[in-house]
Amino acid sequence: MQTVLNLILNPQYLILVYFSFIGVLFSLIVSFLPALHIYNVLGILMLLVFHLEVALPPMHLIALCIGMIVGYSIFNTVPASFFGPGDESMSYYVLPSADWLEKGRGYESVILTAIGSLGGIVIMAILAPLFIKIVPILKTVTGPHLFWILGAVIAYAILSEWPKGLSYSSSRLTNFLEGWKYLGIGLLTFFLASILGFIVMNKTLVPVDFAFQSITPVFVGLFAIPWLITNIINIGKVPKQHIPETVEIDWALVYQGSFSGFLGGFFAAFMPIVTAGIGGLLSSHATAQRDNRLFILSYGTCKTVYYVGSFLLFFIPGVYLTRGGLASIVSPVMFATGYREYFLFVAIMVFSAGISFLMLMPFTKACIRLVEKVNYKWVSIVTLVLLIPAVFKFTGFGGLAIMAVATGIGLMPVLFQARRMNLMAVLLVPVCVSMAGYGNHVLRFLGLI
Amino acid sequence: MTKNNKTKQDELYYSETHCPSCARFVGTNTRCPYCQADTQKRLSIRVFKAISVFLSTVGLLALLFYAQRIEAPIVKIGDLKELSNFGHVRIEGVVTYGTGTLNQWGSLSLTISEPAGRGGKLNDLRVTAYSNVAKELQEQGKLPVTGDRVVVEGQVRIQRKEASLLLNAPEHLTILERAPEAKLGVQPLTMTLQDITPAYLGREITVSGVVKSLATFNFGNVYRLDDASAEGFPVLLETKAIKGSMEKLPEQGDVLTVTGFLVKYQDSLEIKTDKPNSFTVKGNRTFLRAE
């Protein structure tokens, strides 16, 4: 008992609790502002750490990052529900959530997602010792096959989109064109995003000093600015929301949703480039989800396992698996060390999830009050006015050009009713083609070599 | 909300999200999915649709046109920092380790260096190329050897505070000048361990020494030869050299004679070889290598 108390009350570890709490608070602020993604904020934090040579011991920085990523993975449901989706991983969730919002059940939807997130954290904490054995084997087994697995994911993402058009014309051609109109927009989005991906991944159009965040203007353009524009041109209002004392769910649904979400989230975390949106789509189809409550809950698990799990994989001793945006950002300065640090990671993760869940309820209520009283359009206009100069400041004219083109592509699925998931072709296609060994052929065809 | 206290905005919202014919909710659809009637959309949506199509097609073509014409910036190895991670850059330097061959996985690994100021200390950068690129370089006779002056272009990778560069296309390697040794066919220098200095970095040399200790790794074996220092002088026999050789593997106390390139490893010098039959072993404590 004394050993345990010594371990828990050791100031060396208590300071990690402090840093993870700061990280959770950071993520709360990030989630409140539209269009800000935690990866962009972490990029700016890294800039400060490098430029100002802030002396932050590695484990403190790791605790801060864990707090931020765990907090963000739980809080970001709130802006996605009440202010619009932020990235591809969020937009997948929005359809059932928007339906609940219309019925005044937005708060319930957020809490269900958070229960799913907690489920994901608990599963990861339980499986953490097992990951040490399983992940190296998975890495070795899947290593030579990644390109075709990614190819299969791409094929599934495209083929699983159904025609939306409804035409009862006597002309077959009219019916055919109506059916293919939305699919065509999806395919066009996919194609254009792929070309953009080949350009930005093989030419540095931003200053070398900001190369570690060279993908930022792409994602700001593909997801953040279309989100802000949609908020600005949107004339609809969020209906009055009901804040219930309990949520309508039973343990069977919690187990079922968490399991399904974990499958999708872990797949997304383990596979390069695959995001929670894609992982969630695959797992929900694989487990044949029908219930909206189940979908919302499993989505919460999926995105938390994706965001946090991909960072957790980075710390598995001896594996050194760089997956997800956060691991890529911090890999120059952090690296996996030993079992002690790995299990400290797990402990901080559990603590951050608990704190985030407790903060989520007042945060959601505050956001509901905000959207009822303040026209959120003005917050979006101010953010847009600040965002564009910020991108220019860090990435110059090259970054602005990338952001403008990405905005055009990012608006297409929003305005023409196609899947936003097609936008992920910006990373999926170049990486998959390069892994298959044909990257240079495409680059030569495009004149980029 | 009754019809009387509806604002103009509410009416506009209703008219644009509901079918004018069947009054059902159609959202952002321009045609009612139920009765096929056309719905009115306000100007802002149409404007943004036009902007979206323009930027994503004409804008993308313009970006491609621009990207085809720009060259990656030339940077110094010493200027590569954590923030340069994933940057696409060009680096000019002299190859300080390059065997002119591919390694056991068919990929290419070399080290290029550039002088860093007055001290004469070298800034090193490990450059790698995956097997498909390495094979193309081999077919084009462009595999660099020690002493070549080259320009390499690729993606910077910084992990564990160590920078490296991934050469991702054969077109991204330009040999500005071949090494004088390569042109003249200079033979390896035979030296004693005590005579080795950084001045011979990148040269192929032959040395002999008694094995003081050895360590086995998955990429090869490191032998420390007795040079009167506490640690001994390190010699790396890569797996390719070991597997391709008929020689017995040295053990502690054996005399190892090896021909390899003098390279820098972290802050010390090391002799490294991946060529089969580049080493011989003499001594009583030798054992046959397990096949």
B-chain residue closest to A233, CA distance? B44
Q: In the structure encoding, which two tokens stand for residue B108, read together?
A: 């290419």
Residues paired with A48 in a beta bridge: none
Residue B1's pLDDT is 44
The alpha-carbon gap from A228 to the nearest alpha carbon of chain B, in Å, equals 12
Question: Distance, in angstroms, between B7 CA and closest chain A CA?
Answer: 12
- Choose, out of B56, B75, B136, B172, the residue to mutate when testing the contact with A (most A CBs < 10 Å): B56
- Report pLDDT for B2: 45
Q: Is A253 on the interface with B (CB under 8 A)?
A: no
- Please say if the pLDDT value at position A21 is more than 80: yes
pLDDT interval class at A51 (50, 70, 90): low
| CA B289/CA B284 separation, integer angstroms | 15
pLDDT for res B289: 42
Q: Are B161 and A208 within 8 A, CB to CB?
A: no
CA distance B87 to B78: 15
Nearest Cβ partner of A205 from B67, B81, B160? B67
Check residues A172 and A85 and name the one with the higher pLDDT.
A172
Name the residue in chain A with its Cα closest to that of B130: A437
Q: What is the pLDDT of residue A25?
A: 93
Q: Per the CB < 8 Å rule, is A203 touching B169?
A: no
pLDDT at B186: 61
| Domain range summary for chain B, segments of one domain joined by + | 8-69, 77-183, 187-282
- Mean pLDDT within A304-314: 93
Which residue, among A311, A330, A430, has the nearest Cα to B85 in the 3D structure?
A330
What DSSP element (H or E) covers B258?
strand B255-265
Q: How many CB atoms lie within 10 A of CB A125?
A: 16
Q: Does A204 touch chain B (CB under 8 A)?
A: yes
Asked if B288 and B248 count as a contact pair (C-beta separation under 8 A), the reply is yes
Task: Quote helix, strand, coil % in chain A, to nearest 5.
Answer: 80, 0, 20
CB-closest option in B13, B59, B88 to A404? B59
Single-letter residue type at B214: L
Min Cα–Cα distance to chain A from B132, Å: 7
Cβ contact, residue pair B64, A195, below 8 Å: yes
The one-letter amino acid code at A77 reads T
Which helix (DSSP H) or strand (DSSP E) does residue A377 occupy? Answer: helix A376-415
pLDDT over 70, % of chain B: 88
Write out pLDDT tens, residues B105-148. Answer: 788 888 898 866 555 556 888 999 988 888 888 888 888 888 88
Residue B27 or residue A367, greater confidence: A367
Per-residue pLDDT tens for A180-191?
A: 888 898 999 999
Q: A46 and chain B: CB distance < 8 Å anywhere?
A: yes
Per-residue pLDDT at B201? 73
Lowest mean pLDDT among A132-146, A291-305, B113-127, B253-267: B113-127
- What residues of chain B lie within 8 A of the CB of A377, using their CB? none
Q: What is the pLDDT of residue A336?
A: 64
Q: A107 to chain B, minimum CA–CA distance in Å?
A: 22
Residue A11 pLDDT > 50? yes
A134 vs B: CB within 8 A: no
The pLDDT tens digits of the residues spanning B210-248 come to 898 888 887 888 999 988 888 889 999 888 888 877 777
Task: Quote the CA–CA distance of B1 and B3 in Å, as a whole number.
Answer: 7
Q: Judge if B77-183 and B187-282 fold alike in CATH terms.
A: yes
CB contact under 8 A, B52 and A205: no
Please report residues of B whose CB lies closer than 8 A to that of A434: 168
Classify domain B77-183 at the CATH class level: mainly beta
Nearest to B48 among A333, A415, A440 (CB): A415
Q: At the topology level of CATH, where does B187-282 sit?
A: OB fold (Dihydrolipoamide Acetyltransferase, E2P) (2.40.50)
Cβ pair A357, B107 in contact under 8 A: no
- Residue in chain A closest to B172 (alpha carbons) equals A449
Residue among B48, B64, B66 whose CB faces A411 most closely = B48
Contact flag A166-B34 (C-beta cutoff 8 Å) = yes
The most distant pair of C-alpha atoms in chain A lies apart, rounded to whole Å, by 82
Contact B232, B225 (CB under 8 A): yes
A95 lies within 8 A of chain B by CB = no
> Cβ B52–A408 below 8 Å, yes or no?
yes
Using CB atoms and an 8 Å cut-off, which of residues 221-240 of chain A contact chain B?
229, 233, 235-237
